[in-house]
Amino acid sequence: MVKFLLWLILLVFCWPLALLALVLYPVVWLLLLPFRLLGIAVGGVLELVKAVVLLPARILGARPK
């Protein structure tokens, strides 16, 4: 809601810039989407490595805090 209100203020003060932001927002979102997917994949791989490293301790009966 705050972003929308800021956009409305920008629309009142500088409408060409507000319209440009409105048009470019989906383009920027599409350009950043692969990086977001890469971050999810890297996080999953790191969780898998953590699970493999901690597996012997879990088998021996250590309990996480």
- Residue partners of 18: CB distance under 8 A and separation at least 6: 7, 10, 11
Asked if 18 and 11 count as a contact pair (C-beta separation under 8 A), the reply is: yes
- Helices of type H across 1-65: 2-13, 15-59
Q: Give the model's pLDDT for residue 56.
A: 87
Banded pLDDT at 46 (limits 50, 70, 90): very high
Encoding tokens for residue 48?
Answer: 């898998």
Banded pLDDT at 30 (limits 50, 70, 90): very high
- φ/ψ of 56, rounded to 5, equals -60, -40
pTM (2 d.p.): 0.59
